[in-house]
């Protein structure tokens, strides 16, 4: 197995798992199965968790799903999709940590793990882009 195939497989698995947790987490928040205190939203632009749940499911989960599917089907846009999906996850976690009034204050261990996974996904996207350019040269 060459390095690009290995990176694509790793990317597909990681992005797919993140997509499942982000989409599932967003849906769980929307239907009330996963509830967080409203006081954590104090001094944020949100009065409920509806918009954050939709962003988690659609933006983070959807971009990770697109990156995973693209990686598994070996599409030329995989590197770009992975970079964007990783950036979306990093951005979501960063904003969450900065604006939520969590008790105890963040970042939590799960936020640190997902931030790191976002960086890994973005790094895999960049690596795929570099290897793609090198193969064309």
- Domain ranges in the chain? 3-136
Whether 1 has a pLDDT exceeding 70, the answer reads no
Rg (CA), the chain: 16
Mean pLDDT of the region 5-26: 97
Structure tokens at 73: 């089907």
> H-type helices in 32-108, by residue range?
50-54, 62-72, 78-99
pTM, two decimals, is: 0.91
pLDDT at 136: 64
Give percent helix, percent strand, percent coil of the chain, each to the nearest 5: 75, 0, 25
């Amino acid at each position: 197995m060459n390095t690009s195939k290995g990176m694509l497989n790793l990317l597909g698995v990681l992005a797919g798992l993140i997509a499942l947790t982000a989409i599932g987490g967003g849906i769980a928040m929307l239907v009330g199965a996963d509830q967080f205190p409203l006081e954590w939203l104090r001094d944020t632009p949100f009065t409920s968790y509806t918009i954050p749940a939709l962003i988690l499911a659609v933006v983070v989960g959807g971009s990770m799903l697109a990156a995973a599917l693209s990686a598994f089907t070996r599409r030329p846009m995989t590197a770009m999709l992975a970079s964007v999906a990783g950036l979306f996850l990093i951005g979501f976690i960063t904003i969450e940590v900065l604006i939520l009034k969590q008790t105890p204050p963040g970042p939590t261990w799960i936020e640190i793990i997902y931030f790191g996974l976002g960086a890994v996904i973005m790094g895999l996207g960049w690596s795929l882009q570099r290897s793609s350019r090198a193969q064309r040269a």
